[in-house]
Amino acid sequence: MAAIPTALYPVPAQAKEPETPPERVPAASEKLLAAKNVTLEYRTRERIVRATHDVSFDVYDGDRFVLLGPSGCGKSTLLKAVAGFIEPVAGSIELDGEVVRGPGADRIVVFQEFDQLPPWKTVLQNVAFPLRVARKMGRAEARERALHYLDKVGLARFADAYPHTLSGGMKQRVAIARALAMQPRVLLMDEPFAALDALTRRRMQEELLRLWDEAKLTLLFVTHSIEEALIVGNRILLLTPHPGRVRAELNSHQYTQDSTGRYEFQQSVARIHRLLFEEEIAR
Ligand code: ADP
Ligand code: MG
């Protein structure tokens, strides 16, 4: 089981979760990403769909920041905006103090779909190719780095396999290795484990926490699963249903997979559920 990764947040395990945007826990790290009053829209021929409204959040170096909300609340859209694929109609997104104006190798996305790997490339080629193109590495160097990260996700033995011969979980590991090999400033993950069976999903969550600890990653992780948000995240931004607005921000650094059976964990699940659904209906 992964060690409890709380090093950056030396807060007692019993610390009470604040109700509204919390005072930040001791500033051990730098602000990396800032979303300021971000409104995102899609323009179709018939109408304008507002995906998020006035969403603000800050991600600090070393955070495991989770965007949590029901399907359709704009989580993927927010992630795409951070990745630089869509531009806000209002507000801004800044990385290291610079406004995000397009995609860049400092932000790599891992998606939910198993088909994000070109099927005509081997596992090794899948991981090495972006290093050659985006990082301008030579063949030998790219190969070496690719093998290093494949080893990190336990797939070094499958370097010469083709994606179609791998299970869903293994494909996701390749996608994660490919992203890690690029050494992005922030790793963006859009429900990366949602299509996996429950056991594999648990194992992958555990592995991700281990990788986060080893590689000192910063994660921006999207999920609609409250349990997953509590396990994976150290901070959680709750979004309301369509269009997504900020409902609350919570600390969740005290939970790991070992917590799931505990009363305190279940209380947090129930409280988030209330915040997301019941109070929304009441209003
Ligand atoms: P989530 O990831 O939280 O499930 P999305 O970000 O995918 O939500 O979608 C937010 C809203 O934007 C939804 O109402 C969805 O229908 C709409 N939407 C998403 N993609 C498009 C698109 N390409 N064109 C028009 N509307 C879209
Ligand atoms: Mg989505």
Ligand 1 pocket: which of 39, 42, 221 to mutate (most atoms within 8 A of CB): 42
Q: Which DSSP helix (H) or strand (E) runs through 270?
A: helix 263-273
Across the range 244-255, mean pLDDT stands at 94
Domains in the chain, number: 2
Distance CA 48, CA 218 (A): 33
Distance CA 214, CA 14 (A): 25
**Looking at the domain assignment, is residue 1 inside a domain?**
no
Q: Is the pLDDT of residue 217 over 50?
A: yes
**Looking at the domain assignment, is residue 43 inside a domain?**
yes
> Is the domain of 51 the same as that of 88?
yes
**Looking at the domain assignment, is residue 229 inside a domain?**
yes
Q: State the residue range of the domain holding 149.
A: 113-183
Residues with CB under 5 A from ligand 2 (ion): 76
Cα 193 to averaged position of ligand 1 atoms, centre (Å): 19
Report whether residue 76 contacts ligand 1, using a CB cutoff of 6 Å. Answer: yes
Distance CA 200, CA 277 (A): 28
pTM: 0.89
> Is the domain of 88 the same as that of 195?
yes
Ligand 1 pocket: which of 76, 79, 82, 86 to mutate (most atoms within 8 A of CB): 76
Q: Which of 24-38, 70-84, 166-180 has the lowest mean pLDDT?
A: 24-38
Among the bound ligands, name the one nearest to the CA of residue 86.
1
Q: Which of 17-31, 81-95, 183-197 has the lowest mean pLDDT?
A: 17-31
User: Quick one: pLDDT at residue 63?
Assistant: 97
Q: E strands within the chain?
A: 31-43, 48-60, 64-68, 90-95, 98-99, 107-110, 186-190, 219-223, 235-239, 246-251
Answer with the one of 158, 183, 208 that is the final residue of a domain. 183
**Looking at the domain assignment, is residue 142 inside a domain?**
yes
pLDDT-derived band at 114, boundaries 50, 70, 90: confident
Token output for 116:
């994000």
* Ligand 1, atom 10, residue with closest C-alpha: 74
pLDDT tens digit string along 54-98? 999 999 999 999 999 999 999 999 999 999 999 999 999 999 999
Pick 12 or 231 by higher pLDDT.
Answer: 231
Strand-pair partners of 243: none
> Is the domain of 179 the same as that of 53?
no
Q: Is the pLDDT of residue 3 over 60?
A: no
